Chain A
Amino acid sequence: MAETKQIVMPGDLLDPSLGKPRNGAYKCGENQFCSSYFGIVQVSDQFVDVVPFSGPYYPRRGDKVIGKVIEVGPSMWIVDINSPYSTLLHMNDTPWRTQSGDIKKYLGPGDYVYAKVMSLNEIKESWITLKDVGLRKLEGGHITSVPAPKVPRIIGKGGSMVNMIKDATETRIVVGQNGLIWIDGTPDNVMIAIKAVKMVEKEAHTTGLTDRIQNYLKELKGE
């Protein structure tokens, strides 16, 4: 029979023999840890994580995310990064020579940026920056989204999954840690890539996914 990953519910006791509990677990007694999510148990090295099936994105320092500009202030943009809290992008954290008051000509409401989370504080206010290699305004292309906990599966081991989709569909893809995905290419190819991404999302908790996606891509392209 096929091997399935262990599904846990909030409050379920985690098996202490698997390893040290890390993410998605809380202390629920003397030397006991319970799951705080409805998700799957993932064992890596000496740690045990509970990965939820869905849920919002929580910013962490250093994460590269895709955000949508929702408001322009005199010196800041307010950016929605698919998280419970919106984030701020200050004009000094961009590669452009901006001047207070006319920052609207660089980024307007509705534009997408690929940015890095620069800092965040105890009450979950966060700031992002565009000053790093590869960070930019995303022009053209399509945006699709998956729940943030599924992003590692979309990327695959060492980027294997996303590279396979890129090569098969001849598209450019940028995956943000927050679950937003930017895809650029010919309309047909973009549609195929979106379908493949949605398939990964739906079956993220099963094993042997890469091979199945490869076949699925061939099928979609009519090979």
Chain B
Amino acid sequence: MGTASDIKLIDENGLRIDGRSPTELRPIKIETDVLDRADGSAFIEWGGNKILVAVYGPREAYPKHTQDIEKAIIKARYNMAAFSVDERKRPGPDRRSIEISKVISEALSNAVMVEQFPRAQIDVFIEVLQADAGTRIAGLTAASVALASAGIPMRDLVVGCAAGKVDGQIVLDLGKEEDNFGEADLPMGILAKSGKVVLMQMDGDLSAEEFDKATELILDAVKRINEIQREALAGKFVSLALERGGE
């Protein structure tokens, strides 16, 4: 984790620096089909994070040597805009974003029925417009919504969520200050229905008990985030159907 400091991240009432309780998520808003040219797209606002996701494909994979004769490959590209953070980020892929692209690709490959598309590739572009801690899980959450809206067959929706340790306490969904000055950060990607873990990384240290507590918090939050995903997907169709229901 970042530098040690004497900032108090949890006050005497047990509330966090942004006034949340330890088990509270930041506000999440998802919108689908925001881009016309993309096969599927989503925009997510998760606390201060603003992330745009576009899905293209499946289409034949190029260069040809990347094709897999048995299944599709998912190429996720996580990219942070130069203006997404306080100090200008040098544009282009760096070690961090290459790593995040890889883990997100692998997480999504576990949900998408890749075996239905031999030789194909599915492109997922994750553009972080504004970053505020937890961009990889917010990007993953939005990416699975964009894939579903592109009509790609999936076993389940993927939900991303993080927990961590701040001032010796386990809390859900770290904010920016908690991420920088906290003691541990545990982002996870979970299949909503089956509860299988498809992404897990950890920064900092947690004891076995703390890890279990953090996992429990995440699994509980996954249900809430999944509900937001479902509403985002269905919302438009339900309202149109109600309006035009007919006989």
> Measuring CB to CB, which residues of chain A are less than 8 angstroms from any residue of chain B?
1-5, 7, 9-12, 24, 26, 28, 34, 36-39, 52-56, 84-86, 122-124, 147, 149, 202-203, 205-209, 211-212
Contacts and interface: CB of A to CB of B under 8 A. Distances in A.
Contacts of B153: 10, 24, 26, 36-37, 52
Interface of B: 39-40, 57-60, 69, 111, 113, 117-120, 148-157, 191-194, 229-230, 233-234, 237-238, 240-242, 244-247
A10 B3 CA distance: 42
A4 B242 contact: yes
A11 B194 contact: yes
Contacts, number: 121
A56 B58 contact: yes
Contacts of A11: 154-157, 191-194
A4 B239 CA distance: 10
B137 to A, nearest CB: 19
Contacts of B154: 10-11, 36-37
B246 A84 contact: no
A28 B111 CA distance: 13
Contact of A209 (B39, B117, B156, B246): B246
Given A7-B238, A206-B245, A207-B246, A26 B155 contact: yes
B234 A7 contact: yes
B57 A84 contact: yes
Given A55-B150, A84-B60, A85-B60, A9 B234 contact: yes
B40 A54 contact: yes
Given A2-B247, A149-B151, 10 more contacts: A4-B241, A26-B113, A36-B154, A38-B151, A38-B233, A39-B151, A53-B149, A84-B57, A207-B245, A208-B247
Contact of B240 (A3, A9, A52, A206): A206
